[in-house]
Structure 1
Amino acid sequence: MDAFGHVNHANTVTLLEEARIELLFTEAARHGVKEMAEGMVVAKLFVDYLSPIVFTGEDIVVEMSVRDLKSASFTLDYLVRGNREANSPVVTKAETLMVPYNVTTARPRRLTDAERDFLAGWRAGGNGA
């Protein structure tokens, strides 16, 4: 919380990170795509704070989808809602440009076919969000 009783901006970015890890590491591994957990970095982050997130004890909802799926990068779009109620207003929009990364060589790498297939299922209108 910040001095005004809102979720601090750094904590909002942490919420995005936690949602991203759940998708790219946990959910991907559940689908047999374990390569993402071996190296994926954020190359760019954009956050648009539409209204404050006020802590109420309710769950914060982070909806995600994939955009701009390329051979060596993709963009994750986020919509953050203050609670689980139907049609709850979006309080934050964000995007991260993600780059697959080889930690051994310390160099970017291309997405594998399995990674691309998994991510394609999370394009807007797919099973994501």
Structure 2
Amino acid sequence: MGVFVTGVRPRWSDMDAFGHVNHANTVTLLEEARIDLLFTEAARHGVPEMAEGMVVARLVVDYLAPLTFTGDEVRVEVSVRELKSASFTLDYAVRGDRREDGPVVTRAETLMVPYNLTAGRPRRLLEAERDFLAGWRAGGNGA
């Protein structure tokens, strides 16, 4: 399967008055998982250019159940759904704990656009970036 799995740790300060992780802080957890894939894992696979400019063009989050603070990491699964010449869509499943079969508490998607910071405009994906992302397509074999 083309699913990247990482762990992120909610912080005590992420909780709201109702005792679960605030919606805005959940988005930050998604960002941490995305950074693990697009920056850390990509660099490990010889594609450091991804860290030089990627922006979120669209974000959709479905909160299925409360995510509570336990002090432990939660499991985030990330895969590539759409891969175009100048954008790609990431799908996320956040599980309430680190177990592979733990309950999914949040599903999300981000439309990502590679961005040339120097020129101040979007750019096309490089071939190495496309190859890296293709390995994480849902149903792919991973990298």
TM score, norm. by length of structure 1 = 0.96
Query: Aligned residue for 2:43?
Result: 29
Larger RCO, structure (CA 8 Å, separation 6 or more)? 2
Trace 1:88-99 onto structure 2 (pairs within 5 A): 88-99=102-113
List alignment gaps of at least 5 residues for structure 2: 1-14
Query: Aligned residue for 2:68?
Result: 54
Query: Aligned residue for 1:83?
Result: 97
Change (3 A) 1:35 1:65: same
Structure 1 counterpart of 2:58, from 30, 44, 51: 44
Counterpart check, 1:13 vs 2:27: yes
List alignment gaps of at least 5 residues for structure 1: none
For 2:105 and 2:131, how far apart are their aligned partners in 1? 30
Number of residues paired by the alignment? 128
TM-fit CA distance, 1:76:
0.3
The structure 1 segments of at least 4 consecutive aligned residues displaced by more than 3 Å after TM superposition are none
Determine helix, strand or coil for the equivalent of 1:67. strand
Query: Aligned residue for 2:120?
Result: 106
TM score, norm. by length of structure 2 = 0.87
For 2:100 and 2:85, how far apart are their aligned partners in 1? 36
The percent of aligned pairs where both chains have the same amino acid is 80
